[in-house]
Structure 1
Amino acid sequence: MTDADPIKTPLTLDDGVDFAIIEHLFFAYRDFTADPDAILDEYGFGRAHHRVLHFVNRLPGLTVAELLEVLRITKQSLARVLKQLIDDGYIVQVPGPRDRRQRELYPTQKGRDLALALALPQSRRIRAALEEAEPGDSAAVERFLRAMVNPELRAQMDKLPNGRSK
């Protein structure tokens, strides 16, 4: 057999990987993002816009540097998305009170309304999924998802208001 020969058998648990959980995450993510994607498309926005809107609404006053750290993207990637959200009136940028070079980000009412419109179908999907689960599974799901985040980055989740995961 050469590297170019087709392999006609699927990968399985015998290969040392739990493919079922991986596939559940793939499908869950696909469907979790589908409703917001449809809404974003109406505005000419994408998932990057959604992430920026989400965190600016969850942490008003977040600096650009802090947002870059949370999203783990480059300044160049953020610049285009942030400019569009600012130009279209979803986010405002103000100089920091201590350091005028720092830029703090705040949602406008328009940005708050869009963030809620994007989060509501996701919240409904989560609520419906948890209703199908056993009582008490919600905490287990939160612990599981938290454990999926790199340990050194979990502190970022703790900064979110009303966070239940600790």
Structure 2
Amino acid sequence: MQADLSPVIAATAQWLTRAYPAPGGALAAALCEVQARQAVTVAARLRYPTAMDAALMGVAGPGGSGRLDWVTGADGGGSGDPDAAAWRTWVDEVVASWAACLLTDPELAALAVAALGGDGHTTGGRAEFRRLVAPDDHDHRAAALLRHPDLLAPVADLHRGQLLDRLSPEQPLVA
């Protein structure tokens, strides 16, 4: 299933790192990207917990970055990159919103990673997502914008309720 989600994970993580870039050099950019990718991976696995869910998303499409660009004031078309329109179609608004929630709330991130424990795709559990659930000082500095609750609030608030519903004890992750 992870292979089916790879385009969504890559595009959504790229959108997050472009909207909230690392305030430093190459190392900061790499650390920021890893954190974004980990958050998006957890969010995507929660959003599409079964192979059927991932397949249906592949048929219907994830929706694109249009609303996210509007909410954040990002310039989705002015990057000068002719391929930008293509990868932006693979951005999933709900996954980006859930990832924003996870990046700004360590307790919620830990709960989300724990919820993946039985999905069959998580190999290392909490260690696999260490930079998401237990970032060190370097991670925090590299992702200062990406983890800033006030800056991410417009994105996180879009679908926070759905994430909280998904993680509530009454809701099974796989139907």
TM-score (norm 1): 0.29
**Higher strand proportion:** 1
Higher helix residue share? 2
- Structure with greater contact order relative to length (CA < 8 Å, sep ≥ 6): 2
Normalising by the residue count of structure 2, what TM-score does the alignment of the two structures yield?
0.28
